[in-house]
Amino acid sequence: MEVISPIDGAVFATVGEHTVADAERALATAAAAQPAWAATAAGERGRLLHRVADLIRRDRESLAELESRNTGKLLADTRREVERAADCFTYYAGWADKVLGRTIPVPGDFHTYTERVPFGVALGIIPWNVPLFFAAKKMAPALAFGNATVVKPAPETPLTAMALRDLVIEAGIDEDLVHVVVGGREVGAALVTSPDSHLVVVTGHPDTGRAIARAAADTLTPVGLELGGKSPQLVFTDADLDAAADAISLGVFATAGQMCIAGSRLLVHEQVHEPLLERLADRVTRLRVGDPFSPDSDLGPQITSAQRDKTLSFIEGAAGEGARLVGQASLPDDPRLADGYFVPPSLFDQVHPDSTLAQEEVFGPVLGITTFRDEADAVRLANHTRFGLAAGVWTSDVGRAHAISRQLRVGNVWINTYRVLSDLVPFGGFGDSGYGRENGEDAVNLYTTTRATWTSLRAGVPTLFSQARSQ
Ligand code: NAD
């Protein structure tokens, strides 16, 4: 399979593509290796994960460069993502020996306790926008809690997930436990329906989530879904407009808008519409689109040519639905980038809440503005999509901030900030943004299930049964 750099549209690597038979072999090998890993002392599993984190940090620069070449994301961003991948292994290394069960005071002569036990093989299916970190985010909790892990990266961006597998093996983890399967939808679908997949955790488009949930129903394999978003930023009259404009701009234009949490719908009170619009139009027109390896660039290209075409079709279609283009950055004029997948970051005003731009996920650097009259109107508009991933609330009234937050049907709310993420904090959505939560203690619940064990404290007939018989 050819791997293309979106910076110049050139093939810069080739990788072997796995067949369905390869995928099934990977799962079977993982399933065979998993019981020994689950039986390994939890502290030892943690020690090995710490080692993976160290190796990621050792290779931070080459991983970031590879990621930038393959995704077109700024080197500054991919360096941060490599750090986050290492932190993710460190975080779950710490969790490995802290997963506890309970004893339950049942009536009768029993000692009854629960344990959190791994599922077996945890399959992670990931998209192309954050390839290394998402691979880490699927592998680290799976391994920490005693599962084997099989990760399928997007076919456009397989390289850093493959490099991560090498590091996991170098750290001393059995190679049979960790697999990266390279391929597209067909191989992904075969992985999902295999009897050797015991848990599927997907990050991707809502339609992919639906297809996988449907397929997994046949084998009754549990599924966790982190899907797309159309997240609103709500700006009230008492907001710090400069701070809001900075965060709103970064929240949708950074990484060329290719973020599930992109704050792509700006909902602003009509009284502060003009001043905020001015600030944002100024910011968007000054954005420098260019080579992600240059420190002068604010954003690079779209990661795939299909994504470039999709983003351009949103930009071209918005005016036809009544939206007004009020700010746009220029495309790079460097001839070396002429074949890259660049799009102009664009700001639209007067976006109708039912229009395509307000309802569909662009996954590119496009922000649409809609005004509201009062709090109730703001909440109504915020909840007026099928998605429910994230929202930003901008106000200096702390009571209002929390009252609004409570009414939003989303999994993540940021008050007077945006796009801050941590392995410690649960992450997930409602509706078309999926179900299940990753991160923090929720990851323990996602990657393990409960086993209850009853022990009779007296030989012979258990007390509960003898009581029942004598009644
Ligand atoms: P995608 O859904 O097309 O692909 C994601 C992965 O699923 C890829 O590895 C793909 O090969 C695989 N896949 C597709 N169909 C499959 C099937 N039927 N069975 C098994 N595997 C299948 O997503 P994309 O275009 O690579 O990425 C963009 C999407 O990802 C956006 O919708 C974005 O919002 C979403 N996303 C969500 C989050 C989140 O955490 N909520 C984060 C990043 C991206």
Q: How confident is the model at residue 463 (pLDDT cuts 50, 70, 90)?
A: low
Q: In what order do the strands lie in the sheet with 232-235?
A: 324-328, 346-349, 366-372, 265-269, 232-235, 390-394, 412-415
Segment 329-337 mean pLDDT: 97
Instruction: Give residue 467's pLDDT.
Output: 63
Ligand 1 pocket check for 185: Cβ under 6 Å:
yes
The domains found in the chain, sorted by start residue, are 2-227+433-454 (3.40.605.10), 232-415 (3.40.309.10)
Rounded to the nearest whole angstrom, what is the distance from the C-alpha of residue 152 to the centroid of ligand 1? Answer: 10
**Residue 67 appears among annotated catalytic residues:** no
Tell me the C-alpha distance between 252 and 347, whole Å.
10
Segment 314-342 mean pLDDT: 97
Rounded to the nearest whole angstrom, what is the distance from the C-alpha of residue 202 to the centroid of ligand 1? Answer: 7
Q: Which two tokens stand for residue 158?
A: 């397989």
Instruction: Give residue 134's pLDDT.
Output: 98
Considering just the CA atoms, what is the radius of gyration of the chain in Å?
24
Percent of the chain whose predicted confidence (pLDDT) is above 70: 97
Active-site residue, from 138, 156, 230, 361: 138
Tell me the C-alpha distance between 255 and 239, whole Å.
25
Atom of ligand 1 nearest to the CA of 154: 9
Mutate to test the pocket of ligand 1, among 84, 186, 205 (most ligand atoms within 8 A of CB): 205
Instruction: Give residue 3's pLDDT.
Output: 98
| pLDDT beyond 90 at 471 | no
Ligand 1 pocket check for 20: Cβ under 6 Å:
no
Rounded to the nearest whole angstrom, what is the distance from the C-alpha of residue 128 to the centroid of ligand 1? Answer: 8
| pLDDT beyond 70 at 338 | yes
CA 42, 48, 49: angle at the middle one, nearest 5?
90
Q: What is the mean pLDDT of the chain?
A: 97
| pLDDT beyond 90 at 97 | yes
Instruction: Give residue 140's pLDDT.
Output: 98
Segment 286-302 mean pLDDT: 98
At residue 279, the 3 state secondary structure works out as helix
Mutate to test the pocket of ligand 1, among 125, 157, 214 (most ligand atoms within 8 A of CB): 125
Atom of ligand 1 nearest to the CA of 152: 9
Atom of ligand 1 nearest to the CA of 184: 11
* Residue 28 φ then ψ, to 5°: -65, -40
Rounded to the nearest whole angstrom, what is the distance from the C-alpha of residue 204 to the centroid of ligand 1? Answer: 2
Atom of ligand 1 nearest to the CA of 434: 41
Ligand 1 pocket check for 189: Cβ under 6 Å:
yes
**Residue 138 appears among annotated catalytic residues:** yes
Mutate to test the pocket of ligand 1, among 159, 162, 208 (most ligand atoms within 8 A of CB): 208
Q: How confident is the model at residue 459 (pLDDT cuts 50, 70, 90)?
A: confident
Helices 440-447 and 75-95 meet at what angle, rounded to 10? 70
Residue type, 204: G
Ligand 1 pocket check for 228: Cβ under 6 Å:
yes
| pLDDT beyond 80 at 470 | no
- The verdict on pTM exceeding 0.85 is yes
Tell me the C-alpha distance between 51 and 34, whole Å.
20
Whole-Å CA distances, 131 to 64, 201, 414: 11, 15, 24
Q: How confident is the model at residue 185 (pLDDT cuts 50, 70, 90)?
A: very high
Tell me the C-alpha distance between 178 and 354, whole Å.
45
CA-closest residue to ligand 1 atom 13: 185
261/109: higher pLDDT:
261
Atom of ligand 1 nearest to the CA of 156: 26
CA-closest residue to ligand 1 atom 23: 204
Instruction: Give residue 469's pLDDT.
Output: 59
Q: How confident is the model at residue 464 (pLDDT cuts 50, 70, 90)?
A: low
Strand partners of residue 451 = 115
> What DSSP line would sit under 302-330, residue for residue?
-SSHHHHHHHHHHHHHHHHTT-EEEEEPP
Ligand 1 pocket check for 387: Cβ under 6 Å:
no
Segment 83-102 mean pLDDT: 98
Atom of ligand 1 nearest to the CA of 427: 40
Ligand 1 pocket check for 152: Cβ under 6 Å:
yes
Query: Could you read off the pLDDT of 372-397 as tens digits, one per residue?
Result: 999 999 999 999 999 999 999 999 99
Segment 356-362 mean pLDDT: 98
Tell me the C-alpha distance between 255 and 29, whole Å.
37
CA dihedral of residues 448, 437, 28, 55 (deg, nearest 10): -90
Q: Which residues of 51-63 are buried (b: 16+ CB within 10 A; e: fewer)?
A: bbbebbbebbeeb
Query: Could you read off the pLDDT of 229-273 as tens digits, one per residue?
Result: 999 999 999 999 999 999 999 999 999 999 999 999 999 999 999
| pLDDT beyond 90 at 343 | yes
Q: How confident is the model at residue 317 (pLDDT cuts 50, 70, 90)?
A: very high
Instruction: Give residue 264's pLDDT.
Output: 98
Instruction: Give residue 251's pLDDT.
Output: 98
Whole-Å CA distances, 207 to 213, 226, 364, 433: 10, 12, 18, 10
> What DSSP line would sit under 441-458, residue for residue?
HHHHHHHEEEEEEEEESS
**Residue 230 appears among annotated catalytic residues:** no
User: Are the C-beta atoms of residues 234 and 267 closer than 8 Å to each other?
Assistant: yes
Segment 174-197 mean pLDDT: 98
Query: Could you read off the pLDDT of 117-172 as tens digits, one per residue?
Result: 999 999 999 999 999 999 999 999 999 999 999 999 999 999 999 999 999 999 99
Ligand 1 pocket check for 124: Cβ under 6 Å:
no
Q: Which two tokens stand for residue 282?
A: 């100024």
Percent of the chain whose predicted confidence (pLDDT) is above 90: 96
Q: Which residues of 100-133 are buried (b: 16+ CB within 10 A; e: fewer)?
A: eeeeeeeeeebeeeeebbbbbbbbbbbbbbbbbb
Query: Could you read off the pLDDT of 115-127 as tens digits, one per residue?
Result: 999 999 999 999 9
Tell me the C-alpha distance between 405 and 313, whole Å.
33
Active-site residue, from 24, 156, 226, 361: 226
**Residue 226 appears among annotated catalytic residues:** yes
* CA atoms 277, 278, 283, 284: torsion sign: positive
